[in-house]
Structure 1
Amino acid sequence: MTRAKDPIAVAPQTSDAETEGGKPQRGIQSLDSTGQLLSALVAAGRPLALRDLALAAGMPAAKAFPHLVSLQKTGLLARDSAGNYLCGPLGLELGLIALQRLSPTREAEPEVIELAGATGLSVAMAVLGPLGPTVVRLEESARPQHVSLRVGTVLSLVHTAIGRTVAACLPENVLAGLLESDHLRMAGAAATEGLAAGGKLARDYVERLARVRAAQVDNALSHPVPGIDTLAAPVFDHTGSLALVIAVMGSSGSFDSSTEGATAALVRQAARRLSWRFGALKAQ
């Protein structure tokens, strides 16, 4: 797109997002440059100096500077003590309003459908409900599979990939309390399987959760449903807390169910895109 020099120039826009009733709307070209600067700062995920921000936005510093001055005046951007540009008070308020309006399960719906199409597997979405990790969405695979999950199924925090992924994101004291009733959940464990003497988490369980946190994915091979493998990954919100878990499921041997494989990479990528969408800016 051709960029106009300041002062403001007006030109027709033709993208689908900027049309109404099939007719192109007119936009302000200089604001496109402003948008490039904001996008570059968001992509960096940290404060940037004028030179670095202009370079990231693909424009000369002399062109970027007037836009940045206006962004400061409006409060969309601010500068720290080193003179670097970062999000300003108005930018923070807009971001918080957007985050408050987000419904994680609704926003994740297209990602669930896309992941099912990309992998050819069933995809589940779960959240931590009052009774434990609970399936709230299930996109069935086109291939016949005996997956015993249903919407509303509450899963074990010990014996399922989805449950362990949830557990890996919980404070130890909260998790210990939930483990006492794990036997009531699907494929549930006796309290002694997750808890050691004194109410502490069992050593093997702690080590497994540490691996889940490091890999940002967990798998369950032919368990709890014989012949069905699962890969699960966490999605975080803007506070860094767990928002939900997405998981793929399929017949054992029909896909690479290792945590280092191509399918695991797709699940992690989908989870990270959602984390970014929900404001977890450190998601990569």
Structure 2
Amino acid sequence: MAEEIEPMMLKYLAQVAGFAPAQAHAHLVSYRKIGLIEQDEETGHYRLGRYALDLGVTSMRTTDPMSLANDAVAELADRTALHVALVVWGSFGPTVVSVKESGSQLNMNTRPGTVYSMSGTASGRVFSAFLPEATVKATINLEKREKTDSGRVGVHRFMSRKELDHIREVGYATVDVPPMPGISAYAAPVFDHAGQMVMAITIIGQDHYLEGRAEEGFIPALIEAAGDLSSELGVRAGPLRQNTPSAPADPAGGQFMHYNYP
């Protein structure tokens, strides 16, 4: 029921649950008594009830997103032996809130509080692809007016509509010219229960170690970690990617606008 939008017929519900209809009905009677499910009086179809809503609300109130996110980052760092950064949307754009360092002797300028370029870093580009157009444009305009010693990591560069579409399609972002020579990064979006992007997970490593295993190992691990965290934050529709390259779906219900950033 949690995976369905519309109320379900007993026959179909029993089928997907792997029960005989009579057996499923016995469970539903019990669930109905405690308010976990409800039955539509006109159609006889079943849907989640008030008690299920109460459980969901309580879960959201007691869930600590940052604690879940930090656990996901630590697990991914251990799994990949890469540096992993957790990036959220701050006052000046993509902002690092935590970094789990691997055992390598990699020196990098990513620390909590670091602000990334919207177009010149993997983290910034994934935010550019999934945040609303107005928010992205305003932040890029701010970035373009900054002085070179602003402290923001990465240099502004042009992003085409095709590049943004591709990020939405594959579910992660990278950058051809990284801020630090010899260091590569990949970032994937994390969504909340409303389908809004709330943070990014970014893996960072030396080219000679990361690039050779990126496609087969590291990128799938990154996308899996971001997807699992999204599920823990309430996403139930599976990976949030656009339906077609020409009209990517907005998780909030609309459509992403296509735009170029000069």
TM-score band (shorter)?
A: 0.7 to 0.9
* Pairing of 1:11-50 with structure 2 (within 5 A): 41-42=1-2, 47-50=7-10
Q: For 2:13, which of 49, 53, 58 is the aligned residue?
A: 53
Following the alignment from structure 1 to structure 2, what is the Cα–Cα distance between the partners of residues 77 and 59? Answer: 17
Displacement, 1:97? Answer: 2.4
For the 8 Å contact 2:76–2:225, the answer to whether it is kept is yes
Residues 152-197 of structure 1: CA deviation (Å, up to 9, x unaligned)? 10101010000111121211111111111224422142xxx45xxx
The residue that corresponds to 2:134 in the other structure is 173
Separation of aligned partners in 2, 1:73 and 1:101? 26
- Separation in structure 2 between the aligned mates of residue 82 and residue 165 of structure 1, nearest angstrom: 44
Partner of 1:121: 82
- Equivalent positions of 1:1-284 (< 5 A) are 41-42=1-2, 47-79=7-39, 83-182=44-143, 183=146, 184=150, 185-189=152-156, 193=157, 204-221=159-176, 223-256=178-211, 260-284=215-239
What is the rounded CA distance, in whole Å, between the counterparts of 1:222 and 1:207 in structure 2?
A: 18
Bigger Cα Rg? 1
The number of aligned residues is 232
Contact preservation (8 Å) 1:127, 1:244: yes
CA shift, 1:100, in A, is: 2.9
Shift of 1:241: 0.5
Q: Return the structure number with greater relative CO, CA threshold 8 A, min gap 6.
A: 2
Deviation (angstroms), 1:53: 2.9
SS in 2 for 1:254: helix
RMSD: 2.3
- In structure 1, what residue type is equivalent to 2:28? L
Amino acid at match of 1:61: P
Residues 238, 280 of structure 1: 8 Å contact kept: yes
Say which is worse superposed, 247-256 or 225-234, in terms of deviation.
247-256
Identity score, percent: 33
- Letter paired with 1:228: I
**Structure 1 residue ranges, 4+ long, deviating more than 6 angstroms after superposition:** none
Gaps of 5+ in 2: 240-262
C-alpha separation in 1, matches of 2:234 and 2:80: 26
3-state SS, counterpart of residue 107 of structure 2 = coil
Q: CA deviation at 1:220?
A: 2.7
The normalised TM-score by structure 2 is: 0.80
Question: Which position in structure 2 is the counterpart of 1:6?
Answer: none
Matched position secondary structure for 2:209: coil
CA distance in 2, matches of 1:110, 1:246: 12
Normalised to the residue count of structure 1, the TM-score between the two structures is 0.74
